[in-house]
Structure 1
Amino acid sequence: MEDPVLDTSPALRKAFACLRDKVQHNKNRKVWRPPPPPHNVTQPLARADARSSFEGDWRSATDPKDCVKWLAHPFDEDDVHRALSKPYPVHIQRPNLPDYYSDLYSSKDIRAYLASGQCQYSYNVDVVRYDGSKRMSYNMNDPGPRPGSAPGTPAKLGRVWKRFEKEGCSVRILHPQQHCDKLWALMSRLETAFGCCVGCNAYLTPPGSQGFAPHYDDIDAFILQLEGRKRWSLYVDPNNLLPLHNRADFDRASLPAPCMEVVLGPGDLLILPRGTIHEGRSLPDTHSLHITLSANQGCSWAALLQAALPGALQEAAQRTLALRRPMGPDFRRLGCHTALGWYASASYSHRAASHIQGEWELPGLLERRLRRMFKHFTDALWAHIHIAAEEQWEGFMAERLPQYPPLPRPGSVPHTKLHPGSRLSPVAQPGALRFTRPEPGVIRVVHGLFNDRATHARGEAAQEGAGTAGTALDFELRQAGVLAKALLRKDPEAHSVAEIQAMCKGHTEGGEVLQVLQALVAAGLLRVLDPGAQPVTRACSALRVLIASR
């Protein structure tokens, strides 16, 4: 039976006809939706390193990018970035080079570390076992069979090794770069190459065992097989590629079929982009030792924009009157609530029908108004993207590993007074320092050359207590040319003070150049090579230099 009111009210019928047309128009509009993932976006890739021998390794690399090439050969840096961005897992086999990674870390190193008495449960070591349904932790020296945890308790070698050999527990060493110089040296260069902090854990698994449930991480993982063999099963959800947060302990029954199953042997590498669900189990006849290098945690375009947006919006609001105006009645008309309210409460009159029609037109008017406001917002956004990037660089320099081999700390060697013949050489490896502009008229040199290795990868709380992390030096912006000539030279030859003064002639006076160079020597960024340099008798108080511990 038709509604008599609808049948006898031409105005209302006209209004609802217009409403129907508007709804159909909105359905036909091109609304942006994320494209479906290509069918092969997560297709795993297997490559074989056909070499039977190799000359040189990461120690002989002068460019940090060569360390990435050594790590993932035959992939280069661009290939690695492509795999992490697509994303797709990569398995690199080295059947002829089982010792490719063997000198980085070993089970003997783990035993020595446990025997040192410096290894604490939960902070430096985890003893775990996965029974197929849940992970159990045995971070305690109690010999009982029940799982438990005593964080901070020094781990006893005998107890940990009994859990490993007799009870099928895996041993995870956290942050081995803090006590292993080889990992420190490699990871410091990889951090420079990737432009982000690189983490590391070592996993020792007894034969036929599994320590962790299927899970995915919020980092890109490089799994280096050092000893024994381990079978890996990889799963990918095409609707959740590159997630921003990790997830632990999947129920295996809820997972799809593996996209890759592979056995890693000594010398093999497995690259897992962020979000790849993975689980590994050692083979029945051999133990397994691998290290996982992690990169790109929190490094995404979304993270950069998230850091830039608040400042950009604040600046746009300060500059644009339209953004500061009160929203008024227009705000109440946004969303579907208003339209439904009119339908529920309006009398069937020509006036009510016109309001119903008007409500559907209003969002379009607001959209055009907001688009004009967005123009002011995006103009401010470009500058704040650079500001956010510089803040991220400063944060990275504060948290990264110090350079290897370690450098003498400022103040640990006698200061020298420079003269025109003093020959200077920069001490920072390529990419180990960065220039930023924290405020107008100021150029800042940020670096992590003297960071505390013992607090690496422990988070902000540990960094706050380090007291030596992330040194920053502020100079006048007009002195930027001197800094570039002194610190960013590509030629390996040392230059005298007089030569640097000649390079800067025309934009910086010779006396000011000398002051800047003296400050860089005092901060430990330049090394004086000539043995005849004279001791410093007074500080360079005329130079505006700030050394701030981050």
Structure 2
Amino acid sequence: MSAQANLGRHFPLIGPPVLDVTLEAGDLLYFPRGIIHQANSLEDAHSLHITVSCYQRNTWGDLLHKLVPRALDIAIEEDVMFRQGLPVDYLNYMGLANSDVDSQQRTVFLGRTMALMRRLMEQYLPTDAACDQLGKQFMHDSLPPFLTEGEKSCSIHGHGERWDPAGNAVRDHTEMEPDTMVKLIRKGCLRLITEDDVVRVYHNIENARVYHGREPQYIEISAELAPAVELLLHSYPEYVAVDSLPAETVEERLEIATILYDKGLLVTGEPLQNVHVDDTSSDEGEEEGDS
């Protein structure tokens, strides 16, 4: 099964192709981002080809799409200069019909526009927040990480509570300890974001294998626990003790570690030991029978 690949298809405004090649079954052709291509089956053969594209919508323009509208919202809210009214007669000297007219009013108007743009760029750009929004989008776009058997055995992916009907008890219950060593299962599997006045940890652990098969997945945490997530991000790929996470109390350190572990975002240095949890309802039933 052969196919003809044409890179830089000949269009009047583009020019002749830079490569015209016949691909045989099993061939792989790589070409850089931005190259226009077209695949055609040969006249005497049928073919099926798959195009895999990456690094999409990750340009400076995409960042500015996130950045500029938010910067304007902030500037309009905080700076009276952006809320002042336009000159009442600006339509008389601005617009396409007036673009070739040289007037002092037009010069002043354009100068004021440029001054506001400079002020916007210099004082109100929430660049980190805009990058976080792109990171949030990446969390939604990406597949869950592939885990090794070792990673599964040291994470919730290889453990998890279950009910044992034969023993009438909960099995595989595990608990974190202050000296438990932990790290993120992947640094690129989560994004710490502040939005809508709350702190959220967006992640891709529960993403569907079908593109956008689920809504964006996130955990809401208190602002006091955010520094612990930051430390885990900055420490990766090294392990850190739960007790070294920045939080006011040991209980809070165990809380954020347990939240992330239960969601599948943490891996421990060693598999956690199972804690046997008996079913108290069974004991209560026996006591009632004895009485």
| Counterpart check, 1:418 vs 2:176 | yes
Cα drift, residue 277 of structure 1:
3.0
Question: What per-residue deviation string (whole Å, max 9, x for no partner) do you get for residues 501-521 of structure 1?
Answer: 1x347x643332122212222
SS for the counterpart of 1:294 is coil
Larger-gyration structure (1/2): 1
Q: How does 1:207-218 map to 2 (within 5 A)?
A: none
CA drift of 1:403 comes to: 2.0
- 1:376 partnered with 2:123: no
Q: CA RMSD in A?
A: 3.8
Q: CA deviation at 1:429?
A: 2.7
1:279 aligns with 2:38: yes
Aligned counterparts, 1:492-511, within 5 A: 499-501=241-243, 503-504=244-245, 508-511=248-251
- The residue correspondences of 1:97-176 to structure 2 (distance < 5 A) are none
- Please name the residue that 1:446 is paired with: 202
Offset of 1:451 from its aligned partner? 1.0
Amino acid at match of 1:231: Q
Taking a change above 3 Å as real, the CA distance of residues 535 and 305 of structure 1, as seen in their structure-2 partners, is farther
The one of the two structures with greater contact order (alpha-carbon pairs below 8 A, sep at least 6) is 2
- Identity over aligned pairs, percent: 21
1:366 alignment partner AA:
F
| Residue 299 of structure 1: aligned partner | 58
Alignment deviations for residues 201-243 of structure 1 (CA, whole Å, 9 cap, x no partner): xxxxx45xxxxxxxxxxxxxxxxxxxxxx33222268xxxxxx
Shift of the 405–285 alpha-carbon distance from structure 1 to 2, 3 Å rule, reads: farther
Alpha-carbon shift at residue 333 of structure 1 (Å): 2.1
Confirm or deny that 1:532 pairs with 2:278.
Answer: no
- What is the alpha-carbon distance in structure 1 between the residues aligned to residue 40 and residue 90 of structure 2? 60
Alignment of 1:193-208 (within 5 A): 206=1
Tell me the distance in 2 between the aligned counterparts of 1:404 and 1:382: 36
Q: Under a length normalisation based on structure 1, what TM-score does the superposition of the two structures give?
A: 0.40
Closer, same or farther in 2 for the Cα pair 1:488/1:267, shift >3 Å?
farther
The one-letter amino acid paired with 1:413 is: G
Q: How does 1:428-467 map to 2 (within 5 A)?
A: 428-438=185-195, 443-453=199-209, 455-456=210-211, 463=213, 466=214
- C-alpha contact (below 8 Å) 2:68/2:125 kept by paired residues: no
Displacement of 1:476 after TM fit?
A: 3.2
1:535 Cα deviation (Å)? 5.9
- Helix, strand or coil for the counterpart of 2:30? strand
Q: How much has 1:284 moved relative to structure 2? A: 6.9
Q: Structure 1 CA distance, aligned partners of 2:66 and 2:273?
A: 49
How many residues align? The count is 259
**Contact map agreement 1:231 1:262 (CA 8 A) in 2:** yes
Q: Secondary structure at the match of 1:302?
A: helix
Structure 1 residues 297 and 530, CA gap change in structure 2 (3 angstroms): closer
1:129-175 deviation line (CA, Å, top 9, x unaligned): xxxxxxxxxxxxxxxxxxxxxxxxxxxxxxxxxxxxxxxxxxxxxxx
Q: 1:452 to 1:366 in 2, by over 3 A?
A: same
Deviations 1:34-76 (A, max 9, x none): xxxxxxxxxxxxxxxxxxxxxxxxxxxxxxxxxxxxxxxxxxx
SS of the equivalent of 1:522 reads helix
Could you tell me whether the CA contact under 8 Å between 1:435 and 1:443 is conserved in 2? yes
- Alpha-carbon deviation of 1:386? 2.5
Measured after TM superposition, the shift of residue 336 of structure 1 is 5.9
Cα distance 1:336–1:448, how it changes in 2: closer, same or farther (>3 A)?
A: closer
CA shift in 2, pair 1:487/1:312, >3 Å: closer
Aligned: 1:312 with 2:59: no
CA distance in structure 2 between the aligned counterparts of 1:405 and 1:508, rounded to whole angstroms: 33
For residue 4 of structure 2, the aligned residue among 210, 227, 231 is 231
In structure 1, what is the equivalent of residue 29 of structure 2?
A: 269
1:330 paired to 2:84 = no
8 Å CA contact 1:235–1:278 kept in 2: the answer is yes
Q: Is the 8 A contact 2:242 2:257 kept in 1?
A: no
Which blocks of at least 5 consecutive residues in structure 1 are unaligned? 1-205, 208-229, 238-251, 341-355, 538-550
SS of the residue aligned with 2:85?
A: coil
Q: Where does residue 389 of structure 1 map in the other structure? A: 131
In structure 2, how many angstroms separate the alpha carbons of the residues matched to 1:375 and 1:386?
19
What TM-score, normalized to structure 2? 0.71
